[in-house]
């Protein structure tokens, strides 16, 4: 049976199992030292224990709340400021070097500052996530507004649109479509912000669990944490794909034809 579109998922799962088996064999025969590489069975056991005892839910919940807040606030700010700067050439020209500078700065170095400002609770992680999400959304909105077809714009103006109506019916939909195309990246970034923030200093969250395990060289728990994070990153991505399909019906998919 050759892999094809229908049974591809089966091969994908087999590949995963194969990796785990290889990992198991290599560590069980001590070709790879289990102290540094962990044992897959212990990792799975640890993961199971987290869910069975319910210990993980609180941490996972906090990480997801941080992700959601960072995503929502970052997107709102990026949309608002992106629209404003794209429609106001003067401010855009004035702020241009600062935006470039802030975007090229590695945002992780801000984490200690946010920790001082907002404490070790979820706010400092949200702030870090927001700085990551904001720029992705901002640049996409800015681009979205700049790329509005001049013909569509002139058409709306000839049909009598006021500048507010232009904003609502032309600029905003165009910008949101660009935001949606960057949604995968920005949700991922919100997640990264939350976990990295936790890892750098926190009292709860999956990043915190990983940090704790690492400090006592419990490599199996570190891998378990990574496993859980990966699974949820995948789930978030699926959620985005679903939302995208629902909200961007007006956009032609690649190669889509629809005979009448």
Partner 1 sequence: MSPPNNGAALALENITVTFAARSDGAPPYTAVRDTTLVIGRGEFVSVVGPTGCGKSTLLNVAAGLLTPSGGRVLVFGGNLSGLNRCAGYLFQADALLPWLSALDNVALGLVYRGTPRPEAHERAREWLARVGLSGHGHRYPHQLSGGMKKRVALAQTLIMDPQILLMDEPFSALDIQTRQLMENELLDLWSADRKSVIFITHDLEEAISLSDRVVVLSAGPATHPIGEYPIDLPRPRDVAEIRLTPRFVELHRDIWHTMKDEVMKGYVQSQKA
| Contact positions vs partner 1 (CB under 8 A) | 149, 151-152, 154-162, 165, 169-170, 173-174, 177, 249-252, 258, 260
- State in angstroms the smallest separation of the CB of 169 from partner 1: 7
**CA distances from residue 216 to 48, 206, 221, 222 in whole angstroms, order as listed:** 20, 16, 10, 10
- State in angstroms the smallest separation of the CB of 257 from partner 1: 10
- State in angstroms the smallest separation of the CB of 137 from partner 1: 18
| Angle in degrees, CA 133, 97, 170, rounded to 5 | 55
- State in angstroms the smallest separation of the CB of 185 from partner 1: 22
Q: Which is nearer to partner 1, 67 or 174 (CB)?
A: 174
Judge residue 7's burial from the number of C-beta atoms within 10 Å of its C-beta, 0-12 exposed, 13-18 middle, 19 or more buried.
Answer: exposed
Task: Give the span between the Cα atoms of 6 and 79, in whole angstroms.
Answer: 39
Q: Which is nearer to partner 1, 114 or 180 (CB)?
A: 180
Helix axes 172-181, 122-146, angle to 10 degrees: 120
Distance of CA 38 to the CA centre of its chain: 28
Task: Give the span between the Cα atoms of 87 and 98, in whole angstroms.
Answer: 18
Q: Which is nearer to partner 1, 148 or 196 (CB)?
A: 148
**CA distances from residue 62 to 38, 69, 198, 205 in whole angstroms, order as listed:** 26, 11, 10, 5
- State in angstroms the smallest separation of the CB of 150 from partner 1: 9
Task: Give the span between the Cα atoms of 129 and 198, in whole angstroms.
Answer: 11
Q: Which is nearer to partner 1, 165 or 241 (CB)?
A: 165
Q: Which is nearer to partner 1, 159 or 216 (CB)?
A: 159
- State in angstroms the smallest separation of the CB of 157 from partner 1: 6
């Amino acid at each position: 049976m050759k892999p094809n579109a229908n049974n591809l998922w089966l091969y994908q799962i087999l590949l995963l199992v194969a990796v785990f088996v290889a990992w198991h064999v290599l560590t069980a025969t001590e070709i790879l030292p289990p102290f540094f590489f962990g044992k897959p069975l212990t990792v799975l056991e640890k993961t199971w224990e987290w869910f069975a005892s319910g210990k993980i839910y609180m941490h996972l919940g906090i990480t997801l709340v941080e992700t959601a807040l960072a995503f929502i606030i970052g997107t709102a700010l990026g949309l608002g400021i992106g629209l404003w700067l794209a429609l106001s050439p003067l401010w855009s020209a004035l702020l241009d070097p600062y935006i470039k500078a802030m975007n090229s700065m590695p945002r992780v170095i801000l984490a200690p500052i946010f920790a001082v400002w907002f404490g070790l609770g979820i706010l400092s992680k949200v702030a870090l996530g927001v700085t990551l999400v904001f720029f992705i959304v901002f640049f996409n909105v800015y681009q979205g507004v700049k790329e509005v077809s001049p013909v569509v714009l002139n058409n709306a103006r000839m049909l009598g649109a006021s500048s507010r109506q232009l904003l609502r019916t032309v600029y905003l939909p165009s910008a949101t479509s660009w935001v949606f195309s960057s949604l995968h990246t920005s949700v991922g970034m919100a997640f990264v912000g939350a976990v990295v923030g936790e890892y750098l200093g926190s009292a709860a969250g999956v990043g915190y669990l990983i940090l704790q395990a690492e400090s006592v060289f419990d490599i199996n728990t570190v891998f378990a944490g990574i496993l859980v994070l990966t699974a949820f990153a995948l789930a978030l991505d699926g959620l985005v794909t679903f939302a995208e399909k629902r909200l961007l019906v007006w956009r032609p998919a690649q190669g889509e034809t629809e005979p009448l």
